[in-house]
Amino acid sequence: MNEPVRKLSVVVLVMFLALMVAASWIQVIEAGSLNSDARNVRTLYREYGNFRGPFVVDGESVVFSKPVNDPFNFQRTYTDGKLYAAATGYYSIVFGKTALEQTENALLAGTSDALFWNRLRDLFGGREQQGASIELTLRAQLQEVAAKELGDKKGAVVALDPKTGAILAMVTSPTFDPAVLAGHSTQEVNDAYKELNTNPDGPLVNRAIAGDTYPPGSTFKLIVSAAALHAGYTPESTVYAPDSLPLPGSSHAIENYGGESCGKTEQITLEQALTVSCNTAFADLGMTLGWGAIEDKAKEFGWTDTFRVPLVVTPSRLPDDPDDAQVGMSSIGQFDVRATPMQMAMVTAAIANHGRLMTPYLVDTARASDLSIIEQSSPVEYGQPLTSSEASDLTQMMVSVVNDGTGRAARIPGVTVAGKTGTAETGTGSAPHTWFVGFAPAENPVVAVAVIVENGGSLGSEATGGKVAAPIAKAVMEKAIELSKAGK
Amino acid sequence: MATVATVRYQRGRGSELALLGLSALITVTARGLVDYHASVLVISQMLWYTVVVVAVLLGIHLALRRWARDADPVIVPAVATLTGMGLAMIRRIDFAWADRGRPTNFGEIQSMWVLVGAGVCVTIIVVLRDYRVLRRFTYTAGVLGLVGLLLPLMPVIGREVNGARIWISLFGRSLQPGEFAKIAFVIFFAGYLQTNRDTLAVTGPKILGIRFPRARDMGPLLVVWVAAIAVQVFEQDLGTSLLLFGIFVGMLYVATRRTSWVVLGVGMFFVGAAFAGTMFPHVRVRYVAWLHALDPDVYSSGQSQQLVGGLFGMASGGLFGTGLGQGRPDLVPYAYSDFIVASLGEELGLTGLLALLMLFVIIVHRAMRTAIGVRDGFGKLMAAGLGFTIALQTFIVVGGVMRVIPLTGLATPFLAYGGSAMIANWIIVALLLRISDQARRPQEVTA
């Protein structure tokens, strides 16, 4: 019976050989496609199950991964989700990642090449891979003030440090709480997302950088003024400011806000024109300077550029080859001129920083789990749209706007504030968008801010930038000065 | 001139002791890693575990030295290593479940069963000095096997778990009598075939070039076989059905050397399998899940999620594994029993999995060596049958997990959670050791 036993042994060997081949097939040859299979929840768990680095604002973690007893091991937790949602975005097992959660993913997850040595150290130390923490440029108190002042009005606030380009505040309203999308119940997350996504007010949209761009209205007069100063005008140069300016080639005429006159005569200074936000004067000035001059100046400030902060900022738009009447309308920030609040904040910051425009940025520092610095942002110049003297002329004109003109609501006792209001028509029926851009203190600015409130907020058709947006900007600037004085 | 010739031969007990030391080291280290990664590593507990492991292995070793000193020295270390790895993985799954808020204590229960199994093994070695007495119980074994298979169908004590009625409940403990029935059947087949192999092989009508046995020779075998298959169909336990059938065909071949019978048997099996596939929905589902596991429709219907989950786990382990205690084997249902091979593959990688499979190959190989070495036919049939039982059972469950064959529920010998299987397989080990003791004993020189 030995012969059949030997044959049976061979059969057994073949059986085990088959198992070994199958194991090799699964674990080596097919492993790649099995691991990348969308149904392989392990891949999801591996990514979502690691300790993910936190977002830090003013030394406090505002978004962090909390260990929990479920298959994902960690729950992304938001201490003040709504306040920072526009910057951080969400981190969802169902809908993926947005905003900084996405752009900084490699650092947060610890997979970035910059973390190679840390990973190696963790590997040999037997520690679990840990992501880097991301410190933001945002200031908690500025965010809070901006969000509080904006309230439930639709709009956005952007505050920049004019000297560096650091984004000190970025608030959009309405917004959302990322916590509802970061849950581990697929059903609940789906429901919450559906609700947010179908909300007509668009809470998922970041109006500060990536919403529908807005007509800048009278705030665009800063660009026209800059182009005029570049063309040799001074704040004292006289401009033509009739009560009504017929637009060439059309039956339409431009009037000033409320049909008022800009001055005692039809010839007023450029400074006076900006102070009272004279529509006819700037429409005429724009047509006199020609579209090319205005377009070039706007582009120097960043119009039509796409850039990252590192969130993608929607490019602000300019009209394509406008005729004279359209140049007139464009010069007062209407027609096809569009801007993001970020763009207007950049214009303001450049004026505040002696004409040097700094690139805005949101991430200050990335630190490994041992607190060593992995990446540190340094200020980068975007361009120099103004000379130093042009910038100081414009500053002087903007101070006049706040002291004597449409921006009086932004005055801060004991501080010289520079600013410009904007009230942009949005077409028939709906109330205008109200703007305020400004910086303070005018002599040594610590903050440049842009505020937009859509459709005049609660004031409706009576709204102007001076009434609605200026007080919000004022509160933000006041807080920024307070923080600066306290040395924080 | 007369010279005294001393014949030196290797019993291998010393090698066995060294190998047992190695398997104790592996067993203790595996548990240490599991505890470490679950952050519950307590040195005093580890010391206790080490003491118990060493005591058990040393106990078996000393029992062999005393009562079966020529027994095969490789079987126990291989079995002990598999058992130790199984214990570590089961404990690891316990921790994973506790992490998810559903604490289980399969690990502790299994440790107890291992102690019982090892105890039974030693007892058999002490009590059963000559396996040939078992031949006297050939028909008793056949009846016992049948009863074992039938018990779960009894009203009061029978239990149905996950659609398979293979459990009985006694004194609050559940028991899988099928695991013991397979041993009884091996004894029965061995005894019966040894008595009747000549008549089976030589006589009988020849049809189409194949010699069929006479009906009266074949009768008792067919009765057992048909009964076994029928019972398994009613109990919906395809794994045991396939196992018993395989053992039957394998031993029949060893006894009669008739390849034609193997062809016939395998052919009959495929007919039966096709029949079951069309007749029983629960069988068809398994075929579909096997052939189209990754098909989105099959997957989303839930038919292949466990199978594919196991594949995902093994794939994530890759060549070297995630490391013991560092993967997510708990994502697969029954990661501690039917799918323990996938769990081990995930955390130990292909390298570890191949090593474990090699241990099975070694055990089966030693059983076959024993069958060749032993001089009586009953012993040959029994050793080959028991070895083949371990091989086939491993193949059925591991092959099912790895999509070599359709998935059927069976316990992976020595690795998987389950008291009945653990004790039954230690009984097999005891019988193999006893037969190998006979096989390797130097023949007394007769003048």
- Write the DSSP string, B304-316: SHHHHHHHHHHHH
Contacts of A50 in chain B (CB under 8 A): none
Helix axes A388-404, A221-230, angle to 10 degrees: 140
Cβ-count burial A302-328 (b if 16+ within 10 Å, e if not): bbeeebebebebbbbbbbeebebbbbb
Say if CB A172 and CB A156 are below 8 A apart.
yes
pLDDT digits (tens, 9 = 90+) for B220-239: 667 666 766 676 667 777 78
The average pLDDT across B270-287 equals 79
Burial A23-33 (b: 16+ CB within 10 A, else e): bbbbbeebbee
What crossing angle do the helices spanning B259-279 and B281-291 adopt, rounded to 10°?
Answer: 110
Q: Report whether pLDDT(B254) > 50.
A: yes
Contacts of B328 in chain A (CB under 8 A): 42, 45, 49, 71
> B55 CB near a chain A CB, below 8 Å?
no
Cα–Cα distance measured from residue B336 to residue B344, given in angstroms and rounded to the nearest whole number: 10
Residue B265: pLDDT above 90? no
- In terms of Cβ atoms closer than 10 Å to its own Cβ (0-12, 13-18, 19+), residue A429 is exposed
Residue B76 and residue B59 in contact, taking contact as beta carbons nearer than 8 Å: no
Distance CA B30, CA B88 (A): 6
State how far the Cα of A59 lies from the Cα of A82, in Å rounded to an integer.
Answer: 19
Tokens 């200026």 -> residue: A470
List of chain B residues whose C-beta atoms are within 8 Å of the C-beta of residue A71: 100, 328, 331
**Contact between B383 and B374 (Cβ < 8 Å):** yes
* Cβ count within 10 A of residue A8: 23
> What gap in Å lies between CA A55 and CA A294, rounded to an integer?
40
The answer for B 139-198 residues in CB contact with A (under 8 A) is none
pLDDT of residue A241: 87
Higher pLDDT, B3 or A73: A73
Distance, CA of A158 to CA of A480 (rounded, Å) = 12
Nearest CA among B249, B202, B122, B187 for reference residue B386: B187
| Average confidence (pLDDT) per 10 residues, chain A, 488 residues | 91 96 93 80 71 88 84 83 90 83 83 71 65 90 93 92 94 91 84 89 89 87 93 90 83 78 85 89 90 91 90 90 86 88 95 94 88 87 92 92 87 91 78 89 93 79 78 92 83
Interface membership of B384 toward A (CB under 8 Å):
yes
Please name the residue that has the structure tokens 């924080």: A488
Has residue B209 got a pLDDT over 70?
no
Residues facing A240 on adjacent strands: A267
Closest listed residue to residue B151, CA positions, set B172, B131, B166, B162: B166
Does this complex have an ipTM over 0.85?
Answer: yes
Q: What pLDDT sits at residue A2?
A: 86
Cβ <8 Å between B299 and A39: yes
Could you tell me what percent of chain B has a pLDDT over 70?
Answer: 88
Say which residue the tokens 């390298």 belong to: B351
Average pLDDT over residues B241-250: 86
Catalytic residue among A218, A277, A316, A377: A218
Helix (H, G, I), strand (E, B) or coil at B168: strand
d(CA A320, CA A96): 37
Q: Does B368 touch chain A (CB under 8 A)?
A: yes
Cis-peptide, bond into residue A315, ω within 30° of zero:
no
DSSP B402: T
Q: Which tokens sit at A422?
A: 């904007």
Q: Do B312 and A42 touch (CB under 8 A)?
A: yes
Q: Which of B73, B78, B71 is nearest to B22 (CA)?
A: B78
Task: Provide the token pair at B299.
Answer: 């997957």
Distance CA A2, CA B59 (A): 33
d(CA B151, CA B362): 34
How far away is chain A from the Cα of B350, in angstroms, using its nearest Cα?
6
State residue A387 phi and psi, 5-degree precision.
-80, 165
B74 touches chain A (CB under 8 A): no
For residue A10, the chain B residue with the least C-alpha distance is B365
Furthest C-alpha separation in chain A? 126
State yes or no: pLDDT of B445 exceeds 60.
no
Q: Cα B223 to chain center, whole Å? A: 25
Domain A217-362+379-485 class? alpha beta
Tell me which amino acid residue B321 is. Answer: G
Instruction: Report the residue from A8, A28, A34 with minimal CB separation from B388.
Output: A8
Q: What percent of chain B has pLDDT over 90?
A: 49
Collapsing DSSP to helix, strand or coil, B426 comes out as helix
Is residue A237 among the annotated active site residues? no
In the block, residue with structure tokens 């037997």 = A126
Compute the Cα dihedral for A139, A145, A148, A152 and give only its sign: negative
Distance CA B439, CA A257 (A): 112
Contacts of B403 in chain A (CB under 8 A): 22, 26
Of the listed ranges A424-438, B114-128, B358-372, the least confidently predicted one is: A424-438
**pLDDT of res. B447:** 45
Decide if pLDDT at B9 tops 70. Answer: no
Compute φ and ψ for A76, nearest 5 degrees. Answer: -65, 125
Long-range contacts of A188-196 (CB under 8 A, 24+ apart): A189/A92, A189/A93, A189/A94, A189/A95, A190/A94, A193/A92, A193/A94, A193/A95
- The pLDDT assigned to B136 comes to 92
The DSSP annotation for B281-332 comes to: HHHHHHHHHHHTTT-HHHHHTTSSHHHHHHHHHHHHHTTT-S-TTSS-GGGS
Give B-chain residues touching A40 at CB under 8 angstroms: 312, 315-316
The CA distances from residue B258 to A9, A13, A148, B201, B333, in Å, are 16, 20, 91, 7, 42
Kindly report which listed range (A68-77, A140-149, B157-166, B189-198) carries the lowest average pLDDT score.
Answer: B157-166
- What's the gap in Å between the CA of A93 and the closest CA on chain B? 17
Probe site for chain A from B198, B350, B393 (most A CB atoms < 10 A)? B350
What is the residue extent of each domain of chain A?
A: 217-362+379-485
Whether residue B398 and residue A9 make contact (CB cut-off 8 A), yes or no, is: no
pLDDT tens by residue, B34-92: 999 888 888 999 999 999 999 999 999 999 999 999 999 999 999 999 999 999 999 99
- To the nearest 10 degrees (0 to 180), the angle between helices B340-373 and B75-99 is 170
What are the residues facing A437 on neighbouring strands?
A: A420, A450
Instruction: Tell me the residue type at B314.
Output: M
Contact criterion met (CB below 8 Å) for A246 and A356: no
